Structure 1
Amino acid sequence: MSTPPPYKQIRASYNADTITVYQAYNRAIATAAVAEQKLHASPAFKPTRMTWIKPSWAWMLYRAGYSYKDPGQERILALKMKHADLIRLLETAVLTTAHGSEPETAGVVEAPQAAAGAKPKSANVKVQWDPERTVRLERLEYRSIQIGIPAALSPTWTEKWIVSIEDVTERARELKRVLDERQDVTEKELVDMGLVPVERPFEIPESLQLSLGMVLK
């Protein structure tokens, strides 16, 4: 029996240069983003408060319901960014106070605020730890990180920090089809099929682990 991961740990698919995070959007935003390799290519992309990214494929599947949950999350995008830029985000992050709750806007662009010209609720990057999921969307006992990017940082995020954009919606849907048809399919088989990425612990400095609540003070 394998040892479970630490209660709070960043797990992700990454190589020597880039790390993959996920977001889900509507068709218009996703189509333009992939075609132009710019997340803000569509005029429909208008983040006014906070947009959430996550490195966990399973958590993205859970939030978007394999892309079937609602039209606003019907396309799942895999965004690659450089390690240093992710660290830069985390270095300016503050922990949310809603321990363990799951933000309804996680991974999607939040709706505009009612008052025209209203300021964002916060200019801080946010970090929230939510229950990790299996690819069958079952809740696990340890946590997965979500990173909230405020509107003030959106230009830097969309124009400078995203290295590439890939639409992985069909991968999510094929995964659901396989899971529905083969109750006994193993995770190794799913990895071999290219439906589940290999996610490894992503190491960050101990001082940063402390500020993100990953280790006890």
Structure 2
Amino acid sequence: MNDIPEKQIRAVHDEQTIRVYQAYSDTIADAALAAGTFVSPPFKMDRMTWIKPSFLWMMYRAGWGFKDAGQNRILAIDISREGFGWALEHSCPSHPDPSMSPEDWARLKAASPVRIQWDPERDLHHQPLAHRAIQIGLCGEAVRRYVDEWIIRITDVTSLAATIYSHVEVGDLAKARELLPDERPY
């Protein structure tokens, strides 16, 4: 029996921060790690950037860092809870409600610099689970706030991802689970 609600934010967090994940190329990751925030260029401030509190969903999206060179570095970004709250308060769904007119949808998107999407959470083999993981798309003002105000710390967790993946590959799921970040309800 699954006791996890269908939609629940689960993340590594403390009283000041919540951790999100992103995957980038070496160029973007190295610049961000050196500066303690994303640097433009090479990071593109004018594009939507998706942050993910779920480590396993990030591993699914980036193929454990092996999917392609543009996602070979997995970064853990600790952001302020205040910033995370702002993002949620200024969000809209990534897709319109079927009852919305195109005009209403356009107005809602224009007024919301953040998109929320709930996708099936993934297990260690990237199989979908019954509950969902939140993906948060930042654009415009939200990207500027993320880069300039919210980021507290950036950590490269690429080697952790590779280590967990190596245990999955040989079937040692107990060891892989032991190494997963402790994501608790937010």
Query: 1:160 maps to what in 2?
Result: 149
**Residue 181 of structure 2 is aligned with which of 188, 193, 197?**
197
Between 65-74 and 147-156, the greater mean CA deviation after superposition: 147-156
Post-superposition offset of 1:121: 7.8
Fraction of identical pairs, as percent: 41
Give distance in 1, aligned partners of 2:91 and 2:83.
Answer: 13
User: Does the 8 A contact of 2:121 with 2:130 survive in 1?
Assistant: yes
Deviations 1:44-67, CA, capped at 9 Å, x for gaps:
111323110010000000000000
Counterpart secondary structure, 1:62: helix
Once the two structures are TM-superposed, the CA of residue 81 in structure 1 deviates from its matched residue by: 0.9
1:5-24 aligned within 5 A: 5-24=4-23
Alignment-derived partner of residue 27 in structure 1: 26
Aligned residues: 175
2-structure distance, mates of 1:14, 1:26: 26
For normalisation by structure 1, the TM-score amounts to 0.75
- Check whether the contact 2:21–2:77 (CA below 8 A) recurs between aligned residues: yes
**Structure 1 stretches of at least 4 aligned residues deviating more than 6 Å after TM superposition:** none
More helix by share: 2
Give 1:72's aligned residue: 70
Post-superposition shift, 1:124? 2.2
SS in 2 for 1:44: coil
Query: Which residue, 96, 114, 130 being the options, matches 2:94?
Result: 96
Q: What's the RMSD between the two structures over aligned residues?
A: 2.0
User: CA offset at residue 82 of structure 1?
Assistant: 1.5
Q: Structure 1 regions of 5+ residues with no counterpart?
A: 100-119, 203-217
Contact 2:90 2:112 in 1 (8 A): no
- Find the aligned partners of 1:69 and 1:121 in 2 and give their Cα distance: 33
From the superposition, tell whether residues 174 and 121 of structure 1 become closer, same or farther in structure 2 (CA, over 3 Å).
Answer: farther
